[in-house]
Amino acid sequence: FEGWSTLVEECKAFGKFLIVSDLPVHREQIDQNCWFFDPYDQAELTALLDRFADERPHPAPVDYDRHRRDFAETLVAMIDSSAPPSSSH
């Protein structure tokens, strides 16, 4: 699942903790409730999997509904600001 992934978005929506490869697109996609690993270091990933097999992470609560509302409001504002003015007939 390298690169922008709906799996990451689904996990975020369900408030899950993620272990993701340290790629710029993943850092853009998520910055909380995750642990990044070097995608070229299998030993690091193995160590993380071992660690979290014994020690369950406790994701911090994140209000993703607020994020979705903010995104929707920003998108609507962008569309409104770029729309040509309506003309009255």
pTM of the model: 0.66
| Residues 33 and 60 sit within 8 Å (Cβ to Cβ) | yes
**Cα 74 from Cα 89, distance rounded (Å):** 30
Q: How confident is the model at residue 88 (pLDDT cuts 50, 70, 90)?
A: low
**Cα 47 from Cα 45, distance rounded (Å):** 5
| 31-75 pLDDT, tens digit each | 999 999 999 999 999 999 999 999 988 888 888 788 788 888 988
Question: Diameter of the chain by CA atoms?
Answer: 70
Asked whether the predicted pLDDT for residue 89 surpasses 60, the reply is no
